[in-house]
């Protein structure tokens, strides 16, 4: 689930090999019923995470991601794309998508698993950085925010059970 966040975070922190990116902030909030430990950091645009889940995450949890851009002279961020995905369905599909490729990229530097339900236990991401080949060429220079919310139930209803929320900010300059 938070794998989707890491994957989509990559959209905000890279563009192409000739681009420069600076991660400006990472902030995550957790539901302690589902995550007793959740530490996510970035050093030189390389991501590290330490996560402990005291119980399994059963099939049906979802991720809602909003990627926003603020151009150089603008005051406000504008939403570029929003996506809402069932995480287990995303992993089990044979359809190749940008989100699925980002998740696979995170797996290379972690002990995260590609199956559901996600068993209780300790998980980590150790030194994951963005695979520049997975970055859409149409992304513009500017400040990016990626807001990722993970939950059970229906988005923005009383039936929504909060699991995790992360915000990542980054500045990208195309060369």
Banded pLDDT at 18 (limits 50, 70, 90) = low
Sheet holding 20-30, edge to edge: 20-30, 161-173, 142-152, 62-70, 78-86
Which CATH class for the 2-173 domain?
A: mainly beta
Which of these ranges, 15-19, 100-104, 107-111, 123-127, has the smallest mean pLDDT? 15-19
pTM of the entire predicted model: 0.83
Largest CA distance in the chain: 46
**pLDDT given for residue 92 in this prediction:** 81
Closest residue by Cα to residue 118 from 29, 37, 1 = 1
Top mean-pLDDT range of 9-13, 90-94, 167-171: 167-171
**pLDDT given for residue 20 in this prediction:** 64
Q: Radius of gyration of the chain from Cα atoms?
A: 16
**pLDDT given for residue 15 in this prediction:** 36
With 50 as the cut, is the pLDDT of residue 17 above it?
Answer: no
Domain definitions of the chain by residue range: 2-173
Write out pLDDT tens, residues 62-115: 999 999 999 878 899 999 999 999 988 888 876 777 777 888 888 999 999 888
With 90 as the cut, is the pLDDT of residue 9 above it?
Answer: no
With 80 as the cut, is the pLDDT of residue 1 above it?
Answer: no
């Amino acid at each position: 689930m938070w794998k989707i966040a890491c994957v989509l975070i990559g959209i905000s922190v890279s563009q192409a090999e000739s681009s420069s990116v600076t991660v400006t902030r990472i902030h995550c909030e957790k539901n302690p019923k589902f995550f007793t430990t959740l530490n996510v950091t970035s050093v030189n645009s390389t991501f590290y995470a330490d996560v402990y889940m005291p119980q399994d995450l059963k099939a049906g949890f979802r991720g809602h991601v909003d990627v926003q851009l603020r151009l150089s002279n603008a005051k406000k961020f504008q939403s570029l794309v929003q996506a809402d995905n069932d995480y287990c369905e995303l992993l089990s599909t044979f359809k190749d998508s940008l989100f699925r490729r980002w998740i696979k990229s995170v797996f290379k530097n972690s002990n995260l698993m590609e199956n559901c339900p996600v068993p209780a236990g300790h998980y980590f991401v150790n030194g994951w950085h963005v695979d520049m080949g997975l970055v859409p060429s149409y992304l513009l220079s500017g400040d990016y925010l990626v807001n990722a919310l993970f939950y059970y139930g229906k988005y923005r209803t009383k039936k929504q059970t909060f699991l995790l929320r992360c915000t990542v900010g980054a500045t990208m300059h195309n060369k």
